[in-house]
Amino acid sequence: MTGSDFLHLDPGDAPPRGRTAWLVQELREAIAGGALAPGTRLPASRVLAGDLSVARGTVVEAYRRLAEEGLLITNRGGGTEVARFASAPAAREALEAEPPPRALLNISAGVPDLSAFPRAAWLRAERRVLSTATSHDLGYTDPQGVPQLRAALARWLARSRGVTAAPERIIVTAGVTGALSLLAQVLRDRGVAECATEDPGAEGNRRILGYWLDALHPIPVGQDGMDVAALARTGARAVLVTPAHQFPTGVVLSPARRRELIAWAERRNGIVIEDDYDSEYRYDRAPVRALHAAAPERIVHVSSLSKVLAPGLRAGWMIAPACLHEELVRKRWATDQGSPALPQLALAELIDTGVLERHLRGLRLRHRERRDAAVAAIRHHLPGCRVEGIAAGLHLLVWLPGHVDDTAVAARAEEAGIAVQPLSAHRHAPGPPGLIIGYGPHPAARLDAAIQTIGSRSGLSSA
């Protein structure tokens, strides 16, 4: 098959930027619709690139992404073909799932493009684990995580986040939620029953801490991050911060505020809980270094791979000061004896083989394209609204005019089938209105249509 008649693809339909995403989508839809049956041989990347007038790397990357999803098989020396099990129903599962009818743009959870989950790579990792796992690997594991994953995470964190921690100091958790729940229980056992949180801040984290602790103290967040002077006026001995990319404002904790926060912890004999939120996705420069390295005996570092792989894996970790470590491990043992071993071993395989880092590089490119599309749509359909938080993460903060009720805007959007978060939902104290728009799972056309609807329904498009 040559590229000239292959699916009758028209390179004129491809956007100037994002041609790889366009080609991936066209091939997915062809597999889902049966135009490319299982076993169909695809054109060589050089041939298809020439016929479509695109770079060969565009085709190679498109084939690679679909192979990671399990839809294509690349045979060494034998070309690329549609996977034998890639029936129409299976392919449709790999397509970007359309939101439910009343959620054209569902940003209630800041998730990545889950259609890009590396299914084939994960399957290969699991097969390798099952073929090599010993009886010891399949028995009861260390409650703080299997040694292979903790060793892999130690290497990953050292090179990606500047966090230096021995594998023995890493505790594998059920995501950030599991880490916060475990930590809150241990802090309460030690007499620390109050915690300070960012305002505005992630409402989900507040709910978890509020379940276990007696009181939460909201601390204002400005352009430099959390107001440490306001923190010092509370009686809290623990504080939760998102220094790399604050949710929902997107600000980075400034160097001066970092120093002030560590000084507060030293004076107060306090604990700083660093949620390394969205640290993987930085689009303007290298990711901001983790806070943990500055004071490892005052900072509990928690993070997960929910934004890199999938929230459903429940893959997270915690690195705590030595004074808390043993208690945290005992609490984890008493709670559920730790996370399942096989997924941990598969994840270690993805990290050690470099698959995870390659997957993350691809996601950064995809999410940056969608970020750009969302920003363009906001500027076109919500003129006069300021956009912030564009340098990192998977969401944008849109500041609305001061007289606008963001809760009412969200309600009108919901009536039109769009789920969008009002900034007020993440505030404790009143403040300027805004909307939080997540772009990770949504292609450009869907984002544009949803934001256009928000603008027209709210009256902001003519403001």
One domain, residues 337 and 364: no
The rounded mean pLDDT for the chain is 87
Please, are residues 357 and 102 in contact by the beta-carbon 8 Å criterion? Answer: no
Of the candidates 335, 354, 373, which is a domain's last residue?
Answer: 354
pLDDT, tens digit, 9 for 90 and up, residues 320-379? 999 999 999 999 999 888 888 999 999 999 999 999 988 888 888 888 999 999 999 999
95 has pLDDT over 90: no
One domain, residues 321 and 187: yes
One domain, residues 207 and 288: yes
pLDDT, tens digit, 9 for 90 and up, residues 276-302? 988 788 887 777 889 999 999 999 999
Residue range(s) defining the domain that contains residue 424: 357-462
Question: Residue 108: inside a domain, yes or no?
Answer: no
- Work out how many domains the chain is built from and give that number: 3
pLDDT at 416: 85
pLDDT at 77: 65
pLDDT at 76: 63
Q: How many residues does the chain have?
A: 463
One domain, residues 253 and 373: no
One domain, residues 168 and 227: yes
Question: Which residue type occupies 364?
Answer: R
Residue 337, sorted as left (phi over 0), alpha (psi -120 to 50) or beta, turns out to be left
Q: Which residues have CB under 8 Å from 253's CB, separation 6+?
A: 224, 225, 226, 241, 243, 244, 246, 261, 291
One domain, residues 210 and 345: yes
Residue 428 is part of a domain; what is its CATH number? 3.90.1150.10
15 has pLDDT over 90: no
Find which of 18-22, 85-89, 341-345 is predicted with most confidence, using mean pLDDT. 341-345
Question: Residue 105: inside a domain, yes or no?
Answer: no
One domain, residues 219 and 331: yes
One domain, residues 182 and 323: yes
Q: Which two tokens stand for residue 22?
A: 């366009």
One domain, residues 350 and 367: no
108 has pLDDT over 70: no
In this structure, the number of other CB atoms found within 10 A of the CB of residue 380 comes to 13
Q: Which two tokens stand for residue 304?
A: 């997960």
One domain, residues 128 and 229: yes
Give the pairing of strands 170-173 and 316-319. antiparallel
Confidence bin at 446 (pLDDT 50/70/90): confident
Of the candidates 321, 354, 387, which is a domain's last residue?
Answer: 354
Question: Residue 277: inside a domain, yes or no?
Answer: yes
Three-class SS string for the chain? Answer: CCHHHCCCCCHHHCCCCCHHHHHHHHHHHHHHHCCCCCCCECCCHHHHHHHHCCCHHHHHHHHHHHHHCCCEEEECCCEEEECCCCCHHHHHHHCCCCCCCCCCCCCCCCCCCHHHCCHHHHHHHHHHHHHHCCCCCCCCCCCCCCHHHHHHHHHHHHHHHCCCCCHHHEEEECHHHHHHHHHHHHHHHCCCCEEEEEECCCHHHHHHHHHHCCEEEEEEEECCEECHHHHHCCCCCEEEECCCCCCCCCCCCCHHHHHHHHHHHHHHCCEEEEECCCCCCECCCCCCCCHHHHCCCCEEEEEECCCCCCHHHCCEEEECCHHHHHHHHHHHHHHHCCCCHHHHHHHHHHHHCCHHHHHHHHHHHHHHHHHHHHHHHHHHHCCCCEEECCCECCEEEEECCCCCCHHHHHHHHHHCCCCCEEHHHHCCCCCCCEEEEECCCCCHHHHHHHHHHHHHHHCHHHC
Question: Residue 117: inside a domain, yes or no?
Answer: no
Residue 150 is part of a domain; what is its CATH number? 3.40.640.10
Residue 89 is part of a domain; what is its CATH number? 1.10.10.10
Question: Residue 187: inside a domain, yes or no?
Answer: yes
One domain, residues 283 and 322: yes
Question: Residue 136: inside a domain, yes or no?
Answer: yes
Q: What torsion, rounded to 10 degrees, do the Cα atoms 64, 69, 71, 77 define? A: 30
